[in-house]
Structure 1
């Protein structure tokens, strides 16, 4: 495992691409004092069409790198990784390999927010094929409210649109309308954006969904939940460095990562290429 120089005790945020930078931006806004390490596995994105076994292996390699380079806590900002790999990593891999370290996902904060938001108990989800197939969101929602009705739609074209920087195109508008229309017909009043990339499309999604549907964005709910988590776990919070440093790593450094990553983060992003 590659260990880089100058590692600092940090909060790690991992995604298969750069969609998770949107969540990192929200976390830094809510909790600016900490050190952060972001890793995007852009060489192997998207994860949403891959098998559960491959997603687990890729995610395990990512957290190995992040723990080796100072992370005390890693947030899987990739919904596919959260649905396909998180539980196994938490229950089997961490206790043996990294006792004392923590990995958190993004599904539970989003489902809790959706249950709090819905009035008619009809919740829609847009996500990658892998996340929809896993039924992870459905399972978590039903745990919270056994009477809730959940409707999912896989949206395989949205991640490539975001990764190509085409989120403001006419094609993106038409594709979003086609994906959301079936959920509107189901009379959902709450819609979970079940992929970190979709936060980049939030304004367009709101336009397609209409004013009667509440949008649950992980970039908003995850930072709030992390703040509460630290309040409950001071033993974790206290060991994380507070020098406000932010490091970015990617497995395929391209101009697109730098340009779009900077746009999504709201300020310049300078990343270093690594191999997992």
Structure 2
């Protein structure tokens, strides 16, 4: 089998996986969540790179010729090093892609005022990856950022459904909206955040559009495979989906069903033995 590999530091990448599987149901997939070391958002560049590369190597070992980093923090802090350094000497037909560039290519099309906000983890915001990538495609667009460090822990633990979480949702939204009255689009630059999209929208003016990444990344992948036939032909097609976690499977399965919108049955795996 030659499945598409999808990686996230935890559960958030399942929101992207769901969109990809809906757009491209014919392929086989392996999802890996590094839950035992999540969240990645507050970790150093070197640590995020090390963890991400270990997980990429594990997915390569499972036969994946194409891997999607369905994690903004990993895409921001590890993808470039993996593509430009770690992949040297590896099969030229293997690819590792992220979620930031495909999002940056279209996000400006959502705004009428020319001003947008980016909500992400500390790691994503501090990397300024969105500022750099968006500027390439929409140089006139004004981009504001807001780190939301407590959102991922609240979502991963399931606490986001409780009323107490609303305080932290509103706090970060007030922070981003205070930067400009002309912001009319907010990008959820973390794949966990769609689970609280309803809460987010409830604290925003009706004129502000909230954009999640799942469908954007899925659409970009459809186009990528259309343009890279040599890679697309390597992918196996039996519509299988396999889920793996580096942490407790019962806990993973319980929470993953909310992200993936269907029942999930995972297996435990250790990835550190493949570390370089």
- Which TM-score band (shorter chain)? over 0.9
Instruction: Tell me which residue corresponds to 2:160.
Output: 167
Instruction: Tell me which residue corresponds to 2:7.
Output: 14
Instruction: Tell me which residue corresponds to 1:3.
Output: none
Task: Find the aligned partners of 1:212 and 1:69 in 2 and give their Cα distance.
Answer: 46
Q: 2:223 pairs with 203, 225, 228, which one?
A: 228
Task: Find the aligned partners of 1:98 and 1:162 in 2 and give their Cα distance.
Answer: 37
- Structure 1 range deviating more: 69-78 or 263-272: 263-272
Q: Specify every segment of 5 or more residues in structure 1 that has no aligned partner in the other structure, as ranges.
A: 1-7
Q: Indicate if the aligned counterparts of 2:20 and 2:218 stay in contact, CA closer than 8 A.
A: yes
Task: Find the aligned partners of 2:216 and 2:125 in 1 and give their Cα distance.
Answer: 20
Q: Indicate if the aligned counterparts of 2:249 and 2:268 stay in contact, CA closer than 8 A.
A: no
1:180 Cα deviation after fit: 0.8
Task: Kindly provide the CA deviation profile for residues 166-216 of structure 1, in whole angstroms up to 9, marking residues without a partner as x.
Answer: 222212222111111122231211111111111211222222223211222
The alignment yields a C-alpha RMSD, in angstroms, of 1.2
Helix, strand or coil at the partner of 1:46: coil
TM-score (norm 1): 0.94
Q: 2:120 pairs with 127, 150, 154, which one?
A: 127
Instruction: Tell me which residue corresponds to 2:107.
Output: 114
* Pairing 1:144–2:130 present: no
* Pairing 1:244–2:244 present: no
Helix, strand or coil at the partner of 2:102: helix
* Pairing 1:54–2:43 present: no
Helix, strand or coil at the partner of 2:89: helix
Helix, strand or coil at the partner of 2:118: strand
Task: Find the aligned partners of 1:208 and 1:95 in 2 and give their Cα distance.
Answer: 47
Task: Find the aligned partners of 1:180 and 1:124 in 2 and give their Cα distance.
Answer: 10
1:254 Cα deviation after fit: 4.1
Task: Find the aligned partners of 1:12 and 1:173 in 2 and give their Cα distance.
Answer: 34
Helix, strand or coil at the partner of 2:105: helix
Moved over 3 A (4+): none
Q: Indicate if the aligned counterparts of 2:249 and 2:267 stay in contact, CA closer than 8 A.
A: no
Q: Indicate if the aligned counterparts of 1:113 and 1:216 stay in contact, CA closer than 8 A.
A: no
Q: 1:33 pairs with 11, 23, 26, which one?
A: 26
